[in-house]
Chains A and B, each alone.
Chain A
Amino acid sequence: MHIMEGYLPASHAVAWTVAAAPFLVHSAQRVRREMERDPAARMRLAASGAFALLLTSLKLPSVAGSSSHPTGTGLGAVLSGPSAMPVLAALVLGFQAVLLAHGGLTTLGANIVSLGVVGPWVAWGTWRGVSAMGASPMIAVGLASAVADLATYAMTALQLALAFPQAVGGVPAALAKFSALFGVTQVPLALMEGVFAALVWRALGARRGVALATGKP
């Protein structure tokens, strides 16, 4: 999920930063408005950000001697709405870029788009869709979180493929290569993330689920 510092060409880094900017601005406005309107929203936002902070700190073992990070933004997308997530993702990614040398400041825009925009919106859509089919809230949250995890890494694969197309096969071949690289490791982790998210959802006391969610994107 973290594209490392300097590992996107400058033009791509600038383009992804420009792409992330409106989402960040809208997210900041949304967060401020929600916190003024509803005191409970502060705690939902705290839970959303804390879960992302916790899960992105984990390096979990996966198949074939590999390890990777879960993303943690799917639960937050359901709790606080996907449009709240870019700011929370930026805080987490900024912490890691500055202190941990994971990700980077030049790749922050690209990483915000994958972790803070694509993952949360996919989670939101999955949660709404699965809930509409009558699944229990825990199942819906678990599935939404797992799918968001995979979507985040799929977006990272696309970003890298656009930046580094294969000499033969171009962007599609590069996308297949990066997707395979992430996919092998990430599928088991996405399932784990789904379980973690469902357990935290339960701990938050959401017996009927939707009572905790804002109901708005």
Chain B
Amino acid sequence: MAARGWREALVVLAGGAVVIAASQVSSTGRTGTDEAARDAVIGARPDYAPWAEPVRHNTPQQEQGLFVLQGAIGVATLAMAVWALRRGRGSDASQ
């Protein structure tokens, strides 16, 4: 059962890496809904001025890198949880 946990965790890790890479490639040049919503607000209320600024201003490359970092942390943690939960259940079953 422990080996099975490793296998499933590796599948999650590999699948997650593929999805992260594919999302970075395929979303290039597309308009995000967050930006579309912002534009709709500006269209509806041209006089509205945002009263706060983002903490950081990233270049597109920095933003892309940080999204990849976020996804990598997520997929690594998820793979670890898959392994631990399967291993735990395997131990329970063997007792």
Contacts and interface: CB of A to CB of B under 8 A. Distances in A.
A4 B34 contact: yes
Interface bin, chain A: 35 or more
A54 B78 contact: yes
A177 B36 CA distance: 11
Interface string A152-181: 010010001001101100000010011001
Interface of B: 8, 11-12, 15-16, 19-20, 23-24, 26-27, 29-34, 36-38, 40-41, 44-45, 48, 50-58, 63, 66-68, 70-71, 73-78, 80-82, 84-86, 88-89
Contacts of B32: 59, 66-69
Contacts of B73: 50, 53
B28 to A, nearest CB: 9
Contact of B48 (A96, A98, A164, A178): A164
A99 B56 CA distance: 7
B60 to A, nearest CB: 12
Given A174-B44, A185-B33, A61 B27 contact: yes
B30 A205 contact: no
A44 B85 contact: yes
A204 B56 contact: no
Contact of B84 (A43, A62, A174): A43
B63 A51 contact: no
26 contacts: A5-B50, A7-B38, A7-B41, A10-B51, A43-B85, A44-B85, A47-B81, A49-B77, A54-B74, A59-B30, A59-B32, A61-B26, A65-B29, A67-B30, A68-B33, A97-B55, A100-B56, A156-B37, A163-B41, A177-B40, A178-B40, A196-B19, A199-B15, A204-B8, A205-B86, A205-B89
A17 to B, nearest CB: 13
Nearest to B31: A66
B18 to A, nearest CB: 11
Nearest to A51: B78
Given A67-B31, A186-B33, A204-B85, A5 B54 contact: yes
B54 A182 contact: no
Contact of B44 (A60, A105, A166, A186): A166
B87 to A, nearest CB: 10
A139 interface: no
Nearest to A189: B33
A126 B27 CA distance: 30
B33 A54 contact: no
A102 B88 contact: no
Contact of A5 (B36, B52, B74): B52
A182 B36 CA distance: 9
Contact of A106 (B34, B52, B63, B74): B52
Interface string A57-88: 11111100111110000000000000000000
